[in-house]
A and B are shown apart, each in its own frame.
Chain A
Amino acid sequence: MRQRKFWSWLWVALAFTYFLLPLVATFLFSLRGKKGVLSFLAYRRVFDDPQFLSTFGFSLEMAILTVAAGFLLMVPTTIWIELKAPKLRSLIEALSYLPFVIPPIVLVFGLIRMYSRPPFALVSTPALLVAGYIVISFPYMYRSISAGLQAIHLKILMEAAQSLGASWISAVLRIVLPNIRSALLSAALLTFAIVIGELTLAVMLAWPAFGPYMALVGRDRAYEPAALAILSFLLTWLSVAVMHAVTRGGERSDSGAGAVH
């Protein structure tokens, strides 16, 4: 046991070093805003820009909407596939890899062309942006939720719950969802991170999102982009930590019954 603990700590420490180094380097560079001394001048300049918080707030809003709408679409669908239509699993899985190979620029121009005229003039509504974000985060969302459902052997669980008298809906809400909490959290975190930093869709659909703001700052300023990178990392961390805390209780070291698929 102790041996295992040692290796675990070692791995975490190694990983931590790898992940920390670039962040430290960025942070150190961001402190060079004033000549010759270390100062937070670059950070002050970022905060002085009202666009920083307003674009972050906008992307935050979009991220929450995307996670919510995405879950509403994907969770029932994935549960359905596992229970009633396992044959469709390969089709949906294949579809889920499609967003990787559709260049975002192709997708966004296609969305603009299709939805810029009545009767589907959605191009200036946030809904189209959210829909685009759901498409982009689809692979991660589907994979997380589906892996979570498979890990708990859904069919057996449902049969057990129903044989104990629970209705279909009740079984899903009370048994299934709590058991896949960590998978849902993974899906939410991944989607969240994707939306906050997303660039192409937001730029072409003309939304004041965080990604385009970061690209703009990076283009013309020397030290502010580094400060911005650190700040966006911290802010995203904060939002994610809040989300994590709100849904705490999901880490279970053993769950479900039967073999893991």
Chain B
Amino acid sequence: MKNPINGRAAKPLSPFAYLGVLPFLLFALAFMLLPSGALLFGAFQDAHGRLTFANIVALFDPSILNSYAISIQVSAATAVGGVVAGFLLAHAITMGRLPKAVRSFVVTFSGVASNFAGVPLAFAFISTFGRVGMVTFILKQLFGISLYDSGFNLYSFWGLTITYIYFQIPLMVLIISPTLDGMKREWREAAENLGAGAFRYWLRVGFPILLPSLLSSLVLLFGNAFGAYATAYALTGGLINLVPILIGAQIRGNVLYNPNLGYALALGMVVVMAVALAAYVAMQRLTAGWLK
């Protein structure tokens, strides 16, 4: 791995280097890996503890594959939506020449809203866009438009998406603002002096520099949505099949039903996340080449 500034090859990693990350690794082992690992072994066991692949095979049941598909779709849609909308908002408050107070306000709000998820958020959206929601009502009374008759339905894929985005955008704003801060204003001004308009600036300078951060934000938002279920559960009553809801149904439902299948489902989620990460790493490598 070359040092990007002076091109020198990085020194090989001495054992001493691992010392600094030891506290963290021990913590991760003790409180994350071991507790969940022991249970994830249950994915390969049956109800009596015998080794079996039956749970893994069961993952390929059409309804389960469908729920993975829906989970991935919702997570991807809200990740993209969140990255785009969040970026625009973050850009507006950091580089948009707005008063400092606006940035302060938006950052504070984002801090609060980024976890306004679950039952309160679902209920808030039901109160707004539900069949007797505020917006539905206003549209009917003031404009004569019947929202639900024209095909809109909050209790659907897109309804879930616009609900999820409520906490995805603030997350993006918080994550990307410090990075945007690091983009020197001088570059923009220099580009303008050289005759490049805003579009060309972003195309040639801005986005290439930001691309790694945007990509990793995409993965972060994807993961954030992928593991979330409280909102979906409260909004759609467990009827829209997301994988975390299925896991809950297996592990928290009937005790003999199949918690082992639940662990297998969780293992499946780990695999999906790993694939997403691999895709991200590949994209990073690819776009790093463009930067040169």
Partner-B contacts on A (CB < 8 A): 1, 4-5, 7-9, 11-12, 15, 18-19, 21-26, 28-29, 73-74, 76-77, 80-81, 84-88, 90, 92-95, 97-103, 105-107, 109-111, 113-114, 131-132, 134-135, 138-140, 143-144, 147-148, 150-152, 155-156, 180, 182-183, 185-186, 189-190, 192-194, 196-197, 199, 214-215, 218, 225-226, 228-229, 232-233, 236-237, 240-241, 244, 251-256, 258-261
- Which residues of A lie under 8 Å from residue B64 when comparing CB positions? none
* Mask of B9-46 contacts with A, CB within 8 angstroms, 1/0: 01001001110110110011011111111111000000
Task: Known A147-B178, A186-B174; judge A26-B35 contact (CB<8 A).
Answer: no
**25 chain-A/chain-B pairs, Cβ below 8 angstroms:** A5-B96, A7-B96, A8-B97, A11-B91, A12-B89, A15-B89, A15-B106, A21-B128, A22-B128, A28-B134, A85-B21, A88-B13, A99-B32, A103-B248, A106-B263, A190-B115, A190-B171, A194-B115, A214-B120, A229-B123, A244-B107, A251-B103, A260-B182, A260-B209, A260-B213
Task: Known A22-B124, A260-B179; judge A87-B13 contact (CB<8 A).
Answer: yes
The stretch that binds A, out of B52-60, B141-149, B269-277, is: B269-277
* Distance A73 CA – B22 CA, assembled complex (angstroms): 10
Answer yes or no: B186 CB below 8 A from chain A CBs. yes
- Which residues of A lie under 8 Å from residue B83 when comparing CB positions? none
- Which residues of A lie under 8 Å from residue B247 when comparing CB positions? 103, 105-106
* Mask of B167-182 contacts with A, CB within 8 angstroms, 1/0: 0010100110111011
- Asked if residues A237 and B112 are in contact (CB atoms below 8 Å), the reply is yes
Secondary structure class of chain A's binding surface, majority of residues: helix
Q: Which among B36, B107, B216 is the interface contact of A189 at CB below 8 angstroms?
A: B107
Answer yes or no: B286 CB below 8 A from chain A CBs. no
Q: Which residue of B lies closest to A185 (CB)?
A: B107
- Asked if residues B124 and A101 are in contact (CB atoms below 8 Å), the reply is no
Answer yes or no: B190 CB below 8 A from chain A CBs. no
- Asked if residues B178 and A180 are in contact (CB atoms below 8 Å), the reply is yes
- Asked if residues B24 and A73 are in contact (CB atoms below 8 Å), the reply is yes
- Asked if residues A197 and B115 are in contact (CB atoms below 8 Å), the reply is yes
- Which residues of A lie under 8 Å from residue B263 when comparing CB positions? 106
Task: Known A73-B27, A144-B174; judge A193-B269 contact (CB<8 A).
Answer: no
* Distance A26 CA – B113 CA, assembled complex (angstroms): 14
- Which residues of B lie under 8 Å from residue A12 when comparing CB positions? 89, 92-93, 96, 98, 102, 106
Interface size on B, residues (CB 8 A): 107
Q: Which among A156, A182, A199, A244 is the interface contact of B181 at CB below 8 angstroms?
A: A182
Closest Cβ of chain A to B91, distance in Å, is 8
Q: Which among A9, A93, A139 is the interface contact of B98 at CB below 8 angstroms?
A: A9
- Asked if residues B107 and A111 are in contact (CB atoms below 8 Å), the reply is no
Q: Which among A25, A241, A253 is the interface contact of B185 at CB below 8 angstroms?
A: A253
Q: Which residue of B lies closest to A128 (CB)?
A: B31
Answer yes or no: B139 CB below 8 A from chain A CBs. no
- Which residues of B lie under 8 Å from residue A105 when comparing CB positions? 247-248, 251-252
- Asked if residues B1 and A86 are in contact (CB atoms below 8 Å), the reply is yes
* Mask of B272-289 contacts with A, CB within 8 angstroms, 1/0: 111001000100000000
* Distance A100 CA – B222 CA, assembled complex (angstroms): 9
Answer yes or no: B118 CB below 8 A from chain A CBs. yes
- Asked if residues A186 and B177 are in contact (CB atoms below 8 Å), the reply is yes
Answer yes or no: B68 CB below 8 A from chain A CBs. no
Answer yes or no: B108 CB below 8 A from chain A CBs. yes
Answer yes or no: B203 CB below 8 A from chain A CBs. no
Q: Which among B92, B179, B181 is the interface contact of A251 at CB below 8 angstroms?
A: B181
Q: Which residue of A lies closest to B133 (CB)?
A: A25
* Distance A233 CA – B108 CA, assembled complex (angstroms): 11
- Asked if residues B92 and A114 are in contact (CB atoms below 8 Å), the reply is no
* Distance A138 CA – B5 CA, assembled complex (angstroms): 30
* Distance A10 CA – B270 CA, assembled complex (angstroms): 40
- Asked if residues B175 and A147 are in contact (CB atoms below 8 Å), the reply is yes
- Which residues of A lie under 8 Å from residue B124 when comparing CB positions? 22-23, 25-26, 229
Q: Which among A15, A85, A138 is the interface contact of B17 at CB below 8 angstroms?
A: A85
Q: Which among B35, B107, B125 is the interface contact of A110 at CB below 8 angstroms?
A: B35
* Mask of B115-153 contacts with A, CB within 8 angstroms, 1/0: 111111101110110000111000000000000000000
Closest Cβ of chain B to A4, distance in Å, is 6
- Asked if residues B38 and A114 are in contact (CB atoms below 8 Å), the reply is yes
- Asked if residues A77 and B31 are in contact (CB atoms below 8 Å), the reply is no
- Which residues of B lie under 8 Å from residue A193 when comparing CB positions? 111-116
Answer yes or no: B227 CB below 8 A from chain A CBs. yes
- Asked if residues B116 and A196 are in contact (CB atoms below 8 Å), the reply is no
